[in-house]
Structure 1
């Protein structure tokens, strides 16, 4: 034993994961004298404020280090933030803050962009409930937690404007963000392959989980309409009680059963002619009348259910429902009851990069040339972190 104090495990983890130049900055400041600094934290694109994970992490670090950070939330959680507008400021010891920047930026930028995506999706389809199905597209649990949190924030912001928003998600571990004890979901394609038929998979599910509502995935054998109606006829009581749904997840390489380009146009001509008479990009046309889960496919499924006497059977749509696809579905008035999606995860990850700049040293304003706009921040809501 050399008598030196033990290394704090939290500090060791931070040191290993942060940029080396921040570690060296901390060491230099500790050697030549500490000062109070104020950081302004912002993104370069509009977002919805989702700061909780970053703020709570800063609070834990401050407590562990026996210091205090004054965190000034300039935009409350769930509010819109313009490009370059600081979301928050952080004031405290430079020696204690210098090595934290890498990690709190990681916890701030992605949720804010994903929350903005989720918010836009919900506003495009305000009458539709959304289920967050992001988990299997995430790079580990930390990202999964960030994305579920983001969907809950974006969905809640949309609810304030009259939308149904995100009502749940697909995993138990992150269900708490939606005020639930567990995740939601019934069956993947693998269960249908195991059962040998869509109907048999539904029977297995119903026997194993008789108290659960039944949402049956219908595209495995390419018989979305035929197999969906077979399950409805097998469980007419559930269908009549509104406790059954068909989930459309048709592969983008083929049309829903019974559709082709001509018939897809005919379906939309019956239900939303205006949607196909305006000029469209190739992507928008595919969402309307193309392969996969198109607006025409959803309308055709609704027609088939209603004609067979199952008007209360709901339609769950999945497969690539990002902001753009939701907008097209809204224009076509597609009869969707719920969307299952993870497509609020940012497509362009570089958009999620948050930035922090020191704007004051010992209370004296000072910022690098080009970032003077950060000095013009508005007052916010202060939050003390740590001891």
Structure 2
């Protein structure tokens, strides 16, 4: 299980009254009916309709806390352990226990399962796309509250660990203290927002102020505030030559999509990528892919342009940190262009099509008798065993 899950707020069980208030009313009514006519042993199956990476840890920890408080025994058959790839519609897990005590938990379990598994899958793909690049989870600002933040950060950490098993560097941390434990760190990472540069009045002065207060921290400086990314990056390097030489200085590119980085335009952006990775432009590209390669904002061309400027000025050890919409497709485009990015800060593992995160649960057994609604027979445990075949 991912570190930190046991203490995650999303895994802590509310009171029965809290569960009643948050669950769908028909489940509450079912609980009352079962309580009146007699309990039975049921088996639930949980699945998602799209491929995902298994990330059930928070949901299962929450279930454990609820069932402990209710003094209700149950069992879990985890078909796909945490970090394992799951095909569309495949059962993730079976949960068996008292219908009376499980009936009102379905809504909340599904909330904690679907989106985390999709986030894990996105993070996995992103990390594998740029296997030599470090990732920093910067999802908090895009989340609808802290519980969502926990679920998204947890999913990213699970997907990252799966990618690391396949040789990727993956996510090395997050920007937020509260979820740092998911990434085996004790605190959030980050140096400065644009607001600090506005306060300081210049990019160099903001760097000086930061370094004066945090001299033991590697210095990463935003360079897009004044639209002089290359000019300001080189000015910072010249102001901190020792840090630049030691590889403890980085420049963060966060140019917004409304303009090109300093020194670039459509023609020059094309020329930069064509010079470094011509094969990236030699096949069909969608409009979105072309924007990521040679368009406005933090494109592959922008990253290469910054790398060239740093190297030509004698600062080859200065790191490039990139942010701004690094989703799965953008990461893949950066790979195609061999973009020399050292760190990517992103929260774009958050699912962008929320309907794809909808997990589903069905009861497939009542007191040991298999029964499920028509069309879902493929979820029955006995059929699953047969489908696997001998020796599976």
State TM-score, norm by structure 2: 0.94
1:330 deviates by 0.3
Q: Is 1:377 matched with 2:384? A: yes
Gaps of 5+ in 2: 1-12, 387-392
Distance 1:9 1:142, change over 3 A: closer
**DSSP-derived class of the 1:100 partner:** helix
| 1:85 and 1:377 in contact (8 A); partners too | no
5 Å-filtered alignment, 1:154-233, equals 154-233=159-238
Matched with 1:384 is none
What is the distance in 2 between the residues matched to 1:269 and 1:43? 41
Contact 1:287–1:294 (8 Å) recurs in 2: yes
Separation (CA, whole Å) in 2 of partners of 1:336 and 1:68? 50
Aligned match for 1:367, one of 372, 376, 381: 372
Structure 1 gap segments, 5+ residues each: 1-7, 380-387
**Aligned match of 1:333:** 338
Question: Alignment partner of 1:175: what SS?
Answer: helix
Query: Aligned residue for 2:47?
Result: 42
d(CA) in 2 for partners of 1:55, 1:89: 11
Cα pair 1:74 1:378 within 8 Å, conserved: no
Looking at structure 2, the residues matched to 268 and 143 of structure 1 have their Cα atoms a distance apart, in angstroms, of 38
Q: 1:3 — aligned with what? A: none
Answer whether contact 1:314 1:337 (CA < 8 A) is retained: yes
Name the SS of the counterpart of 1:230 in structure 2: helix
CA distance in 2 between partners of 1:334 and 1:67 (Å):
54
1:31 corresponds in structure 2 to 36
**Partner in structure 1 of residue 74 of structure 2:** 69
1:99-137 CA-to-partner distances (Å, cap 9, x unmatched) read 000000000000000000000011111011100000000
Aligned to 2:253: 248
**2:147 aligned partner:** 142
Alignment RMSD (CA, Å): 1.1
**Matched-pair contact (CA < 8 Å) for 1:48–1:113:** yes
**2:31 paired with 1:21:** no
* Secondary structure of the structure 2 residue equivalent to 1:173: helix
State the 1:363 CA deviation.
0.6
1:126 corresponds, among 121, 125, 131, to: 131
Tell whether 2:359 aligns with 1:350.
no
* TM-score, scaled to structure 1: 0.95
Deviations 1:24-54 (A, max 9, x none): 0000000000000000000000000000000
Q: How far did 1:9 drift?
A: 6.4
Q: CA deviation at 1:377?
A: 2.9
Alpha-carbon distance between aligned partners in 2 of 1:31 and 1:362, rounded to the nearest angstrom? 17
> How many aligned positions are there?
372
- Secondary structure, in 3 states, of the residue corresponding to 1:324? helix
